[in-house]
């Protein structure tokens, strides 16, 4: 006891000198990485900066802009064309008239019949534009997943560096004490060699951890432009699915890759129709006019310098070398390819949703087991140290106990990181980690709204440029009952005393500055609603009664935000667990539905905008007038 206490009294000063030399390189490396840089306080700032700097998102937006221009190009083929020609001739030899001559001719051609090529071409271009706009959402999900992964890696690697540094300090302290006891003939040379070996291994582990941290920092800097000096703990994630089937249902409805693929299949279908229309005749109305600076005949009694003709022209190709039939076959093959890609993607997303749900559940179990392992090894280390003080344990026993504690702590740090990324990846597969879900502000992003006559496509809503209310947007909550809420596991994020919200939206402008919202179309009867109209989904439940009970609780708040709203409950029974969606609508225009959803968010009501055709089979609608319901 006495021989061990004296080295402990001297080690604090000696350790500072020894440790400065052994881990100075790692400390200088970390200080250099974080010396002079912009500080990323929390995850929301990192996501916002990554959104602004991402080349992947910028490329997706550029592709969408190009597809939007394709709509104008396709529409131009069906619009009137105006052309003119001006001819100036100057005789230089052999002419009886030495005066110059000016001829001006103009033509207006109005297409009357194009065989359906223009109409189908415009529809195909619109659907391609919609697919590329939804591809922007997919790019956002990929970028945000990379940022969250890099953010979590930096936090984990910093924890491992701190654990490695603490472990080296402890082993250095023990090494100094072991040397003192060896000089006092209390321990053997074997005990000293074992202590020296563990300290050397600890120095190597610290260097490895510092190098791994450096790589994570560089990846984080590449994505965000920030040097992570003091990262806040990861914010908790909420509204995770209750089971794998709910995750699959949501992913099949809201995953941007699937929605974009469905739009591309529909666009290829219109390309086939446009290709078939090339074999049809084309009819146009033509108006011609001319002007010449001299009369055509000196004997004419009237001035013939001006002339005009009106007529109808028809053009029809009789033989094109098989080009038209080849283009039809080409478009049909591409449609088949798009359908096969869609089917394969649906299977992939379904399997991925189930797999990631299982990974998330496994990660949660690993976190619990790691927490128990850390607590158990810590208690074991305290007991081994106490037994070593009385001589019943050797130095090797203490070293092994400390190594087991460090291994358990490193495993816990990895498990916490894996659990958070597994839950975020699950939400990403469900399509709920877009910029609008995480509170990331979009700048100068305007996507074209699909017109009312566009055929039904299960598509995500277009981006709205209207500022959102100042609150965190959360993904839509899927509940097993009216009162059941999915809460985040307490062990999923890195432990923080105060959870940090993912993002804060800018304040909503004054109500009088908002554009007027067209009234909602009554949903009674639901069969009269076109499938291309829009509805605002409020919640999803596992039973129709739970959805109707939920409506009874929130209807007053809904009527305050959206007067005249017509509620409905639609069933989606395409999996082992049916889902019953509560929604209001329907709206002829997307902007009206999105405005209604924004007003509901002000009332603290979660919502999302979707096509009425993708809502499901309507089983219940409330026929009570809104005025009477609001007074209940």
Give the pLDDT score at 504: 34
- Per the domain annotation, does 596 fall within a domain? no
Distance, in Å, from the CA atom of 407 to the CA atom of 404, rounded to the nearest integer, reads: 5
Give the pLDDT score at 367: 92
Q: Indicate if 189 and 89 belong to the same structural domain.
A: no
Give 244-277 pLDDT, tens digit per residue. Answer: 999 999 998 889 999 999 989 999 899 898 888 8
The three-state secondary structure class of 631 is coil
Do residues 572 and 578 make contact, with C-beta atoms less than 8 angstroms apart? yes
Domain boundary among 435, 454, 477: 435
The helix-helix angle for 395-429 and 189-224 (nearest 10°) equals 20
* pLDDT exceeds cutoff 70 at 218: yes
Q: Indicate if 151 and 298 belong to the same structural domain.
A: no
Least reliable range by pLDDT among 449-453, 523-527, 546-550, 615-619: 449-453
What is the pLDDT confidence band of residue 624, given thresholds at 50, 70 and 90?
A: low
| For residues 598-609, average pLDDT | 81
* pLDDT exceeds cutoff 50 at 586: yes
Domain boundary among 291, 315, 339: 315
| Helix, strand, coil share (%) of the chain residues, nearest 5 | 55, 10, 30
Give 403-422 pLDDT, tens digit per residue. Answer: 888 889 899 999 999 999 99
Q: In what helix (H) or strand (E) does residue 284 lie, and over which residues does it extend?
A: strand 282-292
Q: Indicate if 46 and 86 belong to the same structural domain.
A: no
What is the pLDDT confidence band of residue 348, given thresholds at 50, 70 and 90?
A: very high
- Per the domain annotation, does 445 fall within a domain? no
Distance, in Å, from the CA atom of 108 to the CA atom of 48, rounded to the nearest integer, reads: 51
Q: In what helix (H) or strand (E) does residue 30 lie, and over which residues does it extend?
A: helix 24-33
Distance from the Cα of residue 214 to its chain's centroid: 27
Give the pLDDT score at 451: 36
In the sheet that holds 282-292, the strands lie side by side as 81-89, 101-113, 282-292, 306-315
Give the pLDDT score at 575: 52
Distance, in Å, from the CA atom of 80 to the CA atom of 589, rounded to the nearest integer, reads: 29
Domain boundary among 412, 435, 458: 435
Distance, in Å, from the CA atom of 632 to the CA atom of 239, rounded to the nearest integer, reads: 31
* pLDDT exceeds cutoff 80 at 485: no
Q: What angle do CA 524, 529, 531 make, to 5 degrees?
A: 150
Distance, in Å, from the CA atom of 208 to the CA atom of 203, rounded to the nearest integer, reads: 9
| For residues 239-247, average pLDDT | 88
Residue 627 tokens read as 């005025």
Give the pLDDT score at 393: 83
What is the pLDDT confidence band of residue 211, given thresholds at 50, 70 and 90?
A: very high
CB atoms near residue 45 (< 10 Å): 17
CATH number of the domain bearing residue 373: 1.20.1600.10
Q: In what helix (H) or strand (E) does residue 180 lie, and over which residues does it extend?
A: helix 117-183
| pTM greater than 0.75 (yes/no) | no
* Closest-CA residue to 3 (of 186, 174, 167): 186
Do residues 491 and 416 make contact, with C-beta atoms less than 8 angstroms apart? yes
Give the pLDDT score at 333: 92
Distance, in Å, from the CA atom of 458 to the CA atom of 614, rounded to the nearest integer, reads: 6
Distance, in Å, from the CA atom of 207 to the CA atom of 210, rounded to the nearest integer, reads: 5
Give the pLDDT score at 583: 92
Do residues 44 and 439 make contact, with C-beta atoms less than 8 angstroms apart? yes
Give the pLDDT score at 527: 57
* pLDDT exceeds cutoff 80 at 462: no
Residue 386 tokens read as 């106490």
* pLDDT exceeds cutoff 60 at 426: yes
* Closest-CA residue to 458 (of 431, 424, 437): 431
Question: Phi and psi (nearest 5°) for 180?
Answer: -65, -45
Give the pLDDT score at 361: 92
Distance, in Å, from the CA atom of 439 to the CA atom of 461, rounded to the nearest integer, reads: 16
- Per the domain annotation, does 220 fall within a domain? yes
* Closest-CA residue to 363 (of 411, 406, 410, 416): 416
* Closest-CA residue to 45 (of 230, 311, 252): 230
Give 177-207 pLDDT, tens digit per residue. Answer: 888 888 888 778 888 898 888 889 989 989 9
Domain count along the chain? 2
Average pLDDT, the chain: 76
User: What percent of the chain has pLDDT above 90?
Assistant: 16
Measured over the CA atoms of residue 127, residue 132, residue 134 and residue 135, the dihedral's sign is: positive
Tallying the residues shown for the chain, one arrives at 632
* pLDDT exceeds cutoff 50 at 566: yes
| For residues 7-16, average pLDDT | 39
- Which of the given ranges, 204-218, 486-500, 530-544, has the highest pLDDT on average? 204-218
Q: Indicate if 32 and 158 belong to the same structural domain.
A: yes
User: Considering just the CA atoms, what is the radius of gyration of the chain in Å?
Assistant: 36
Q: Indicate if 372 and 424 belong to the same structural domain.
A: yes
Give 100-123 pLDDT, tens digit per residue. Answer: 678 888 989 889 888 888 889 998
* pLDDT exceeds cutoff 90 at 358: yes
Q: Indicate if 307 and 407 belong to the same structural domain.
A: no
- Which of the given ranges, 109-113, 316-320, 586-590, has the highest pLDDT on average? 109-113
Distance from the Cα of residue 465 to its chain's centroid: 17
- Per the domain annotation, does 277 fall within a domain? no
Q: Indicate if 180 and 297 belong to the same structural domain.
A: no
Give 24-68 pLDDT, tens digit per residue. Answer: 434 433 444 343 334 446 888 888 888 888 888 989 889 899 988
Distance, in Å, from the CA atom of 590 to the CA atom of 141, rounded to the nearest integer, reads: 23
* pLDDT exceeds cutoff 50 at 466: no
SS3 readout for 431-464? CCCCHHHHCCCCCCCCCCCCCCCCCCCCCCCCCC
The three-state secondary structure class of 589 is coil
Give the pLDDT score at 357: 93
Give residue 10's domain range: 2-54+146-229+359-435
Distances (CA, A) of 367 to 161, 186, 374: 20, 42, 10
CATH number of the domain bearing residue 94: 2.20.200
Bridge partners (DSSP) of residue 87 are: 103
Q: Indicate if 301 and 431 belong to the same structural domain.
A: no
- Per the domain annotation, does 168 fall within a domain? yes
* pLDDT exceeds cutoff 90 at 289: no
Distance, in Å, from the CA atom of 429 to the CA atom of 256, rounded to the nearest integer, reads: 9
Q: Indicate if 427 and 382 belong to the same structural domain.
A: yes
Q: Indicate if 44 and 157 belong to the same structural domain.
A: yes
- Per the domain annotation, does 425 fall within a domain? yes
Give the pLDDT score at 418: 92
Q: Indicate if 365 and 419 belong to the same structural domain.
A: yes
User: What percent of the chain has pLDDT above 70?
Assistant: 75
Do residues 323 and 268 make contact, with C-beta atoms less than 8 angstroms apart? no
- Per the domain annotation, does 189 fall within a domain? yes
* Closest-CA residue to 356 (of 438, 238, 256, 251): 251
Do residues 450 and 534 make contact, with C-beta atoms less than 8 angstroms apart? no
Q: What angle do CA 130, 44, 513 make, to 5 degrees?
A: 60
- Per the domain annotation, does 402 fall within a domain? yes
Q: Indicate if 45 and 152 belong to the same structural domain.
A: yes
The three-state secondary structure class of 287 is strand
């Amino acid at each position: 006891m006495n021989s061990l206490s004296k080295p402990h009294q001297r080690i604090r000063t000696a350790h500072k000198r020894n440790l400065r030399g052994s881990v100075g390189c790692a400390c200088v490396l970390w200080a250099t990485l974080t010396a002079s840089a912009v500080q990323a306080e929390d995850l929301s700032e990192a996501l916002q900066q990554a959104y602004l700097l991402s080349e992947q998102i910028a490329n997706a937006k550029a592709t969408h802009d190009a597809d939007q221009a394709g709509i104008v190009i396709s529409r131009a083929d069906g619009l009137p064309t105006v052309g003119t020609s001006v001819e100036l001739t100057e005789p230089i030899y052999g002419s009886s008239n030495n005066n110059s001559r000016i001829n001006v001719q103009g033509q207006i051609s109005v297409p009357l019949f194009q065989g359906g090529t223009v109409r189908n071409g415009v529809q195909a271009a619109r659907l391609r534009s919609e697919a590329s706009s939804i591809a922007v959402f997919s790019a956002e999900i990929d970028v945000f997943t990379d940022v969250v992964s890099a953010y979590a890696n930096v936090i984990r690697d910093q924890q491992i560096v701190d654990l490695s540094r603490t472990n080296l300090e402890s082993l250095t302290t023990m090494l100094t004490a072991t040397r003192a006891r060896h000089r006092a003939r209390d321990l053997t040379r074997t005990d000293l060699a074992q202590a020296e070996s563990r300290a050397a291994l600890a120095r190597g582990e610290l260097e490895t951890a510092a190098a791994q941290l450096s790589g994570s920092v560089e990846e984080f800097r590449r994505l965000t432009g920030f040097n992570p000096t003091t990262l806040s703990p990861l914010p908790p994630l909420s509204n995770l699915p209750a089971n794998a089937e709910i995750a699959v249902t949501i992913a099949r409805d809201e995953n941007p890759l699937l929605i974009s693929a469905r739009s591309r299949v529909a666009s290829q279908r219109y390309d086939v129709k446009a290709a078939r229309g090339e074999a049809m005749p084309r009819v146009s109305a033509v108006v011609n006019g001319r002007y010449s600076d001299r009369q055509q005949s000196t004997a004419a009694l009237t001035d013939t310098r001006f002339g005009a003709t009106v007529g109808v022209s028809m053009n029809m190709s009789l033989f094109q070398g098989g080009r038209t039939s080849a283009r039809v076959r080409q478009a049909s093959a591409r449609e088949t390819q798009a359908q096969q890609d869609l089917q394969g993607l649906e299977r992939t997303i379904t399997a991925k949703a189930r797999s990631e749900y299982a990974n998330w559940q496994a990660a949660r179990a690993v976190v619990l087991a790691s927490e128990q392992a850390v607590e158990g090894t810590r208690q074991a280390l305290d007991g081994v140290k106490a037994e070593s003080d009385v001589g019943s344990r050797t130095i090797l026993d203490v070293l092994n106990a400390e190594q087991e504690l460090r291994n358990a702590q490193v495993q816990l740090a990895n498990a916490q990181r894996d659990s958070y990324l597994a839950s975020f990846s699950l939400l990403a597969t469900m399509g709920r980690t877009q910029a609008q879900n995480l509170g990331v502000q979009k700048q100068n992003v305007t996507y074209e709204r699909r017109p009312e006559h566009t055929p039904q496509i299960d598509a995500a809503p277009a981006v709205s440029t209207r500022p959102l209310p100042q609150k965190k947007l959360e993904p839509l909550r899927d509940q097993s009952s009216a009162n059941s809420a999915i809460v985040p596991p307490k062990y999923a994020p890195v432990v923080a005393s105060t959870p940090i919200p993912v993002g804060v939206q800018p304040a909503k402008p004054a109500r009088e500055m908002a554009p007027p919202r067209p009234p909602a179309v009554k949903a009674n009867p639901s069969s009269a609603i076109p499938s291309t109209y829009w509805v605002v989904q409020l919640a999803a439940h596992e039973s129709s009664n739970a959805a109707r009970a939920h409506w009874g609780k929130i209807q007053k708040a809904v009527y305050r935000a959206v007067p005249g709203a017509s509620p409905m409950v639609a069933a989606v029974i395409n999996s082992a667990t049916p889902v019953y969606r509560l929604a209001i609508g329907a709206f002829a225009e997307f902007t009206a539905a999105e405005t209604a959803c924004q007003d509901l968010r002000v009332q603290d009501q979660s919502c999302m905008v979707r096509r009425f055709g993708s809502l499901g089979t309507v089983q219940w609608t409330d026929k009570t007038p809104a005025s009477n319901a609001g007074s209940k």
